[in-house]
Structure 1
Amino acid sequence: MTRARRYLLLFVIAIAAAASVPAHAKSLVLEEFFRGKTIGKGVFESKIAGVYRPFTVKLTGTWNQRTFTLKLREDFVYDDGERDTKTWFFQKVAEDRYIGQRADVLGLTNVRTDDTGVLRFSYVASLDTENGPLLLRFDDTLKQVDRNTVENTAKVMKAGITVGTVSLTFKK
């Protein structure tokens, strides 16, 4: 095979590989997707505790260009009627990295985009229960499926043991 044919073959392979990259490979940019109004439908499930709790969450995102901070208010309504509100603050510190905080989360949360464009973060939240506060670790993954859709999955852990999962789809 001639050198020119080898280069042509490599060029064709590179084009085919680039064309086969799925749409979700585009990195999720929090302040772009979550700015304004977003609706999420999801479920918390714990097979250990026999819990299956569907919910809807309405998000309102406000981007502050001066401080590079996204304020993300989450208003939850569970199918059983319970309501809850959480507010995240994500400060953009690099093109693929944020620092997040929320009132019920212990410490700061590092949010990073991996090589596939998926956003990942892990945090410990203190949840109020009738028996007092319960500390749970959440390992979240957010993947942009298309322009208007982000899928969020999370493992929920206590003492290193997975006790539940969250599956959630956000739509613009």
Structure 2
Amino acid sequence: MALLMKQMTWLKTLVFVNFILLAGCSTPDVSEYAKNTPSFALSNFFSGPLKAHGILKNRSGKVIRYFNADLYGQWENGVGTLKENFVFDDGEKQQRTWVMTPDENGHYTATANDVIGKGIISQAGNALFMKYTLQVPYDGDLLEVSVDDRMYKVNENVVINESVLSKFGFDVGYLTLVIEKVAD
């Protein structure tokens, strides 16, 4: 009986430790930012000219690339188009065009030329989260990575974006950028 009690105590401890570890791995939900200001209205911020400046880190946190981008957003009948033109530190240029479409629940989905399927956009308060699968040029081929974008509006003209890129559930890169509205 004593052995059984010891095993049960050990099992309870193991379950508790696993619960704590899993809880530590969870990420905040966008709803946690619902009361934060300034409010992040997708169609207001991503309208007109914008500039972005960012860095890309590998899985160990080393900065491996940096870039600047010109963006331009416009909206028609509730559907937004955001054109992005990137120039990387090595001179490489990339373009992406997002189309953001409202759904029946007032949320948005997003598609782009190098995105597989649809990205799912969630908004609350000053935060906008988007998850999607991106095709990334890698070693002469295209690699599909999952992207978890987390954007936070810090004032009327600036959004800070943190992204985690993962493959098979493992983080393979991190992207940090600042997006700023530019006067027309």
TM, length-normalised to structure 1: 0.78
Asked if structure 1 preserves the Cα contact closer than 8 Å seen for 2:83 and 2:96, the reply is: yes
Offset at residue 130 of structure 1 (A): 3.5
Q: Is residue 141 from structure 1 mapped to residue 153 from structure 2 by the alignment?
A: no
Task: Give 1:121's match in structure 2, choosing from 130, 133, 139.
Answer: 130
Per-residue deviation, 1:148: 0.6
Which secondary structure does the structure 2 equivalent of 1:106 belong to? Answer: strand
Which of these residues, 92, 97, 103, is aligned with residue 93 of structure 1? 103
- Give the unaligned 5+ runs of structure 1: 1-20
1:92 CA drift (Å): 2.3
Maintained 8 Å contact 1:96/1:112: no
Inter-partner Cα distance in structure 2 for 1:131 and 1:104: 15
50-59 or 161-170: bigger deviation? 50-59
**Contact kept in structure 2, 1:24 and 1:144, CA below 8 Å:** no
User: What do residues 46-93 of structure 1 show as CA deviations (whole Å, max 9, x unaligned)?
Assistant: 1449552110011010111x2x11100000011111111000000123
> Does the Cα contact within 8 Å between 2:81 and 2:97 map onto a contact in 1?
yes
TM-score between both structures, scaled by the size of structure 2: 0.73
> Among 46, 54, 61, which residue is 1:42 paired with?
54
* % identical equivalent positions: 28
SS of the counterpart of 1:31? helix
Letter in 1 for 2:44: E
- 1:32 maps to 2:44: yes
Structure 2: 5+ residue stretches without partners: 1-32
Deviation at 1:97, TM superposition (A): 1.6
Residues 27 and 119 of structure 1 are in contact (CA less than 8 Å); yes or no, is this contact kept in structure 2? no
- For the residue of structure 1 that corresponds to 2:117, the secondary structure is coil
Matched position secondary structure for 1:170 = strand
Asked if residue 60 in structure 1 is aligned to residue 78 in structure 2, the reply is no
SS at match of 2:116: coil
Q: Shift in Å at residue 26 of structure 1?
A: 3.2
Residues paired across the two proteins, number: 148
